[in-house]
Copies of this chain bind each other. A is one copy, B any other.
């Protein structure tokens, strides 16, 4: 810090992004993040001015930074917090919910926070939902993912938002990509994208406007902009495969800056040429109970879980 000067104004820099050979001060870093996000939103046709955008908020740095950036850019963006009911002695869900709430207050309520409380609506926390399934922690993470995807889609449709956006950063996307590539999960690879269009059958449009930023960049943005966020990871994520893959990518990034950027963006470029097209999933049908799109006939995975 301070060794490099800001490329734009020669003040002391707060961040040096060696993969871009770019050092910036607080002000110019925030401006850079916001304008790069806008470019990325436009390039991938995620949404436009006037659209109603729903931000999936976890209370962490990525989703709160995303929400703040969208408001700063003048988009109509509200938040959705899904209370999973995870306590584990550290009050994980209630504390992260409080951070999401506080963010709304800090914006002087110029935005709205929708809260879905699983225990209130379905009478079960995510742990209780997962308990009826065999298997350990891995199962819990996959049930949690399933529940969140279902609820994000349901609320986005019910409240009439054009698109749901999540705060996934480049570290997240590169780790998922590496995991999928190690197994050559062609169907997952065919779907990994910064934007997925609505399918006309009830799956809403999804986008990841921060997918081009390193985790340290979204963290720096949150800190510089005075956003209070929950520092803890989910207590169940410790030792998860995704963290292991992130470590591996971090060590490669250290010896060769830009590894993650090249890995992810070369993938997107290569994929554009119809790579994995044949592996795209077949037409979906509608769940008999909740009416959401599902790959299997009958009930969707969420309704089967309940």
Say whether A125 faces chain B, with CB atoms less than 8 Å apart. no
Distance (whole angstroms) from the CB of A266 to the closest CB of chain B: 4
Residues of B within 8 A of A275 (CB): 186, 275-276, 278
Say whether A32 faces chain B, with CB atoms less than 8 Å apart. no
Say whether A182 faces chain B, with CB atoms less than 8 Å apart. yes
Q: Which residue of B lies closest to A256 (CB)?
A: B241
Residues of B within 8 A of A276 (CB): 275
Say whether A73 faces chain B, with CB atoms less than 8 Å apart. no
Selected from B248, B263, B269, B273, the residue in CB contact (under 8 A) with A248 is B248
Interface SS of chain A = helix
In the bound complex, what is the Cα–Cα distance between A279 and B273 (angstroms)? 9
B184 touches A270 (CB 8 A): yes
A263 touches B186 (CB 8 A): no
Q: Which residues of A contact B (CB under 8 A)?
A: 181-184, 186, 244, 248, 251-252, 255, 259, 262-263, 266-267, 269-270, 273-276, 278-279
Residues of B within 8 A of A270 (CB): 184, 186, 279
A184 touches B263 (CB 8 A): yes
Given known pairs A248-B251, A252-B248, the reply for A183 and B273 (CB within 8 Å) is no
In the bound complex, what is the Cα–Cα distance between A252 and B251 (angstroms)? 13
12 other A-B residue contacts (CB within 8 Å) besides A184-B266, A184-B270, A274-B278: A181-B181, A183-B263, A186-B270, A186-B273, A186-B275, A244-B255, A248-B251, A248-B252, A270-B279, A273-B278, A273-B279, A275-B275
Residues of B within 8 A of A186 (CB): 270, 273, 275
A262 touches B181 (CB 8 A): no
The 8 closest A-B pairs by CB, nearest first: A184-B266, A184-B270, A186-B270, A182-B263, A184-B267, A181-B181, A248-B248, A183-B266
8 CB-based A-B contacts, threshold 8 Å: A183-B263, A183-B266, A184-B269, A186-B270, A248-B251, A273-B278, A274-B278, A275-B278
Residues of B within 8 A of A262 (CB): 182-183
Distance (whole angstroms) from the CB of A180 to the closest CB of chain B: 10
